Amino acid sequence: MSASGHRTPALATGLLLLGLLASVSLGSALLSLDPLAIRTDQILSPPSLEHPLGTDQLGRDLLARLLAGGRPSFLAGLVATGVALLLGVGLGTLASRSPVWIDVLLSRGTDLVYAFPALIGAMVLVGLPGEHPLMALPEGVRVGMIVGLFSWPMLFRFVRVEVRRRLGSDGHLAALAAGAGPVRTLVLHLLPDALAPALVPASFIAGGTILLEAALGFLGLGVRPPEPSWGNLLRDGMTHVDSAWWMVLFPGLVVFLAVLAFQLIGEGLGRQRAEELY
């Protein structure tokens, strides 16, 4: 390892990039851009002053759609990471301090979830009828919930091992000596230490979800048109790959930057942690 002590540039870059993308995307709700306004006289027009990123096959402004499309993507990332953290950390902690048979049961169940191809989650999304209560939720939340249900095993294994590693540490023993009960030591002394390293896989999950949302939309299995999402925009781009380069270039670029931001945050946090340890 190199000289330690400084914040890693990867982390700072990642946070900056993420903040920029998220604030532009969320702030765009305040602007008077309509992502659904159809202009039949402006079909597939290349970038211009009026439409900085061009228009799509229905003459809709790509910039407006790109900004609005970020909302379901970020929402999905947020919800998926939340669900994964809740399940992974909750069950992982439970497994780490339970009798052997519960631990074995939970670990086997995790192996089972891990073996499922995540794409099958899309089956649930496609299969829901319009009147189902889940359909009342925003699209991004629905996609995020499904992705989260498939991405927690990594966190489960991580937290289970991290909590175990801290059994018998000075902090743990001190808490026990002071008379703290099993629940108190777990929640106040073991878990907080295990949570900080869990942020590394969590940020990879967030980035992975944005990528997966884009992939699902691209395959026609995610957020439903005409509502824009980055995945849907890329799907539109696929059908015009030979005529409208702007419809391919810009949506992919924002997905790339968003995923990169989370990757950098994860890398940076991991590296920072490694430097603290050695």
Partner 1 sequence: MLAYALRRCLGALLTVLALSFVTFAVFAWLPGDPLAAFESQRRGRALDQARRTALVEELGLAAPLPARYLRWLDNALRGDLGRSLRTQRQVTEELSHRLGPTLELSIASTLLALLASLPLGWWLARKRESLLDRSALVGLVALYALPIFWLAMLLQALLAVHWSVVPLYGRLPASGASGLGTRLHHLALPAACLALHQLAFYARFARNTAAEGLDSIQTLFARACGLTEARITWRHGILPSLVALITLAGLVLPSLVSGAVLIETLFAWPGLGRLFVVAIQARDYPVVLAMTVVIGSLTVTGSLLADLGGRLADPRLRHQVSER
Residues forming contacts to partner 1 in the complex (CB under 8 A) are 2, 10, 103-104, 107-108, 111-112, 114-117, 119-120, 122-124, 126-129, 132, 161, 207, 211, 214-215, 218-221, 234, 237-238, 241-242, 245, 248-249, 251-252, 255-256, 259-260, 263-264, 267
Question: Do 141 and 72 meet the contact criterion of CB atoms below 8 Å apart?
Answer: no
CB of 207 to partner 1, least distance (A): 7
Q: What is the residue whose two structure tokens read 């294994």? A: 157
CB of 99 to partner 1, least distance (A): 14
CB of 197 to partner 1, least distance (A): 17
Q: Which of 102, 104, 24 is nearest to 66 (CA)?
A: 24
Q: Which C-beta is closer to partner 1: that of 90 or that of 109?
A: 109
CB of 29 to partner 1, least distance (A): 25
Determine the Cα–Cα distance for residues 46 and 40; give it in Å rounded to an integer.
14
CB of 100 to partner 1, least distance (A): 9
CB of 41 to partner 1, least distance (A): 26
Q: Which C-beta is closer to partner 1: that of 32 or that of 101?
A: 101
Q: Which C-beta is closer to partner 1: that of 68 or that of 221?
A: 221
What backbone phi and psi angles, to 5 degrees, belong to 222? -105, -130
Q: Which C-beta is closer to partner 1: that of 33 or that of 113?
A: 113
Q: Which C-beta is closer to partner 1: that of 143 or that of 175?
A: 143
Determine the Cα–Cα distance for residues 139 and 128; give it in Å rounded to an integer.
12
Q: Which C-beta is closer to partner 1: that of 139 or that of 213?
A: 213
As a whole number of Å, the end-to-end CA separation of the chain is: 8
Q: What is the largest CA-CA distance in the chain?
A: 77
Angstrom distances, CA of residue 3 to CA of 249, 264, 278: 39, 20, 11
- Tell me how long the chain is: 278
CB of 161 to partner 1, least distance (A): 8
Q: Which C-beta is closer to partner 1: that of 139 or that of 175?
A: 139
